[in-house]
Amino acid sequence: MTAFLVVSMLGLAVLVTCEFAARFFSPMREFFALSMIAIGLFVAWFAHMNVFGDLGFAMRSDWWGVTVTGFVLGGAAYFWHEVLGLFAGLGRKYSDEAMSFEKEHGLRRVA
């Protein structure tokens, strides 16, 4: 259970780091998912974290578990990105910011 919690929270931290970096690097939006994987790999290697070893899965070598944990962190960050985007969209819908957003971006409203 703690491994799941650690992956969830580190995934959120990876997402926040990617969002922060995307503010300064405009081409990063095109490679946003790839940047989440790269930062997830960096965090896993920096912390030398092997979630699969904590869960009791036997890996052939330790570096393999750390690398796959990095991919899991990137995937968790992407999951958080989509879930938070869903809630942001619902918030705009119910506070009627959707209409002003559509007007700003030239989108038509479907009745």
DSSP per-residue letters across 2-40: HHHHHHHHHHHHHHHHHHHHHHH-GGGGGGHHHHHHHHH
* pTM score: 0.78
Task: Give the chain's domain count.
Answer: 1
**Residue 30 within any structural domain of the chain:** yes
Q: Closest by alpha carbon to 75, among 41, 29, 109? A: 41
* Full domain range(s) for residue 76: 2-81
**Residue 19 within any structural domain of the chain:** yes
Q: What is the pLDDT of residue 98?
A: 61
- Residues in CB range of 6: below 8 A, 6 or more apart: 49, 51
**Residue 110 within any structural domain of the chain:** no
Amino acid in the structure at residue 41: L
Q: What are the pLDDT digits (tens) for 37-95?
A: 999 999 999 999 999 888 888 888 889 999 999 999 999 999 999 999 999 888 877 77
**Residue 93 within any structural domain of the chain:** no
Q: What is the pLDDT of residue 58?
A: 82
Q: CA–CA separation, 51 vs 35, rounded Å?
A: 21
Mean predicted confidence (pLDDT) in 17-34: 83
**Residue 99 within any structural domain of the chain:** no
